[in-house]
Structure 1
């Protein structure tokens, strides 16, 4: 092996690792608060940030608690969307918080990057609208009358600021020297798809004005969708994600479908490079916890069913007694009284 080939291979490995660990900033979600940051030196102590993110932290101290909340939103939504799947977004107290799963170019990593990017954009935008940040406020560009006959007013969510901050903070690692690697291109694409899930689902909210609740005229504003809606959209994109590979168009490196019979993906779609493991068995080397000990649904034929969730290993069945409220009655005024009801249920657990 020539020295030039060895150095080139080593550089590609370093760049791939550099890009693959770009989600380390999600460790901020493990903190109870970063709102107490009052000195720039504190940014150096935040675990998971690369130096350029530390510099952004120093320039945007008041925004960092929103970034933390965005990381928490992303993790919670990931765990909700994948609660019934073999991989259920379990987190660790080490870096990266999702384990080695996100260091591979799988569709699971694609979802993590998309929902994380969306989480930051969402949380920062919400902080702008609530008046928490001096750097931004409501979107004042949405004003005047509309073709539909209502008046733009109120506090429209400043999604442009939230998206711009997410692009600057979340994408910063990929936009460095490794930005031409296929993993960096994958991450950047999925980051943007996450933000598009908010932008493309902005809604119009209105308030009626008039005598005795009539709607003689109304004022409206633009609002972000609930974050659960964002999660639902991205989960659908996960299910239909496109496997891609790097190609060159002129002097530009791009990602194209690996199967030429598939139609090109859009900016809103998720893309991935590598096939996912089956997530059946505990594999610490690859960050897979396995499904042993997971609860399953005996009657379901879907992925949450015992046959698929337990990967054919079988399952244990235990009977447990649960106490529920029943025979509830309303008593004037003003309470609801219920009786405790005992019920035995079966719990099925993968071997």
Structure 2
């Protein structure tokens, strides 16, 4: 197998992203739970014990990837590196804020998808979530109905699945800086350093005046590159050829996206259906419209 420079085989994200390549697989036998799926040993055991949930886990991988790419579509780093899993670029293994976000969004997607799967009857391991307490009901005559998502089970399964990569072969919890970072990450990131507290290693903020992180903050410990030029060492693919917007400032603008290299302008002709009308009964008649778009790409 030949890998691109800067990519690492067999490095597991610790989550579910590598499973997106298995979206069309029928999870009917434990033989589907193989190392080629990009899962760690303990995740393979969970896979074999929860075959009915594996299509849901795969779906969560797709949700996580699509969300990441959508959120960063107009940033220099656009989350394109997730497409290389289970082989990873350096931007997803070096302890950067980009890695922090990918871990966080993947974990959230897994919990949400599994919780939802419980309420629609995908698995017999869980069912409906508990009904809200009476004091939460908006009106006296209001009654909760239907089947709520089993968030408690989703959280439990999600933790087992993600934290399975944070345990070594001897069954002990890993305490490396990267493992601690991955365990902590849930939402937004802030730079940190490692420090001992008595006999325990803990993550503490690098910024003075802060003693600890909130539970809703993502953490990272490695500075990110500017992602302007390709760099195999950092995992940057550069921004050459990326589409940008003229006349604006901030993310997505040519000034930010092109890193001072400038941009070139071009036009693109698009033909689409328009002016559609419904006629009784039963067909729709449309006109054909042509649009000329003026676009920009980074040099």
Band the TM-score falls in, shorter-chain normalisation:
0.7 to 0.9
Q: Please, what TM-score do these two structures have when normalized by structure 2?
A: 0.86
Choose which of 141, 165, 189 in structure 2 pairs with 1:173.
165
What SS is found at the alignment partner of 2:80?
coil
The structure-2 alpha-carbon separation of the partners of 1:153 and 1:319, relative to structure 1 and needing over 3 Å to count, comes to: closer
1:164-203, CA deviations, whole angstroms, 9 ceiling, x for partnerless residues? 111001111124356211111110011xx2xxxxxxxxxx
In 2: Cα distance, 1:325 partner to 1:312 partner: 38
2:192 and 2:220 in contact (8 A); partners too: yes
Mapping 1:163-202, distance limit 5 Å: 163-176=155-168, 177=172, 179-190=174-185, 193=186
The structure-2 alpha-carbon separation of the partners of 1:94 and 1:322, relative to structure 1 and needing over 3 Å to count, comes to: closer
2:9 and 2:88 in contact (8 A); partners too: no
Mapping 1:122-137, distance limit 5 Å: 122-137=112-127
The structure-2 alpha-carbon separation of the partners of 1:158 and 1:147, relative to structure 1 and needing over 3 Å to count, comes to: closer
Match of 2:79?
A: 89
What SS is found at the alignment partner of 1:242?
strand
1:63-94, CA deviations, whole angstroms, 9 ceiling, x for partnerless residues? 11111111111000001100111111114664
How much does 1:295 deviate? 0.5
Answer with 149-158 or 77-86: which moved more: 149-158
The structure-2 alpha-carbon separation of the partners of 1:182 and 1:48, relative to structure 1 and needing over 3 Å to count, comes to: same
Note the aligned Cα RMSD (angstroms). Answer: 2.6
Task: Establish whether residue 350 from structure 1 lines up as the match of residue 292 from structure 2.
Answer: no
The structure-2 alpha-carbon separation of the partners of 1:154 and 1:274, relative to structure 1 and needing over 3 Å to count, comes to: same
Q: Please, what TM-score do these two structures have when normalized by structure 1?
A: 0.74
Choose which of 47, 52, 59 in structure 2 pairs with 1:69.
59
What SS is found at the alignment partner of 2:267?
strand
What SS is found at the alignment partner of 1:83?
coil
Task: Establish whether residue 27 from structure 1 lines up as the match of residue 22 from structure 2.
Answer: no
In 2: Cα distance, 1:93 partner to 1:160 partner: 30
How much does 1:340 deviate? 2.2
Mapping 1:94-173, distance limit 5 Å: 94-96=84-86, 99-139=89-129, 141-142=130-131, 145-146=134-135, 148=137, 149=140, 150-173=142-165
Task: Establish whether residue 47 from structure 1 lines up as the match of residue 42 from structure 2.
Answer: no
1:132-163, CA deviations, whole angstroms, 9 ceiling, x for partnerless residues? 11111111x32674454333332111011111
Task: Establish whether residue 302 from structure 1 lines up as the match of residue 294 from structure 2.
Answer: no
What SS is found at the alignment partner of 1:319?
strand
In 2: Cα distance, 1:25 partner to 1:112 partner: 11
In 1: Cα distance, 2:11 partner to 2:199 partner: 24
The structure-2 alpha-carbon separation of the partners of 1:258 and 1:338, relative to structure 1 and needing over 3 Å to count, comes to: same
Match of 1:313?
A: 261
2:22 and 2:37 in contact (8 A); partners too: no
Task: Establish whether residue 245 from structure 1 lines up as the match of residue 235 from structure 2.
Answer: no
What SS is found at the alignment partner of 2:266?
strand
Task: Establish whether residue 260 from structure 1 lines up as the match of residue 208 from structure 2.
Answer: yes
Q: Any unmatched runs of 5+ in structure 1?
A: 1-16, 194-233
2:40 and 2:164 in contact (8 A); partners too: no
The structure-2 alpha-carbon separation of the partners of 1:262 and 1:317, relative to structure 1 and needing over 3 Å to count, comes to: farther
1:22 and 1:174 in contact (8 A); partners too: no
2:230 and 2:237 in contact (8 A); partners too: yes
In 2: Cα distance, 1:20 partner to 1:254 partner: 24
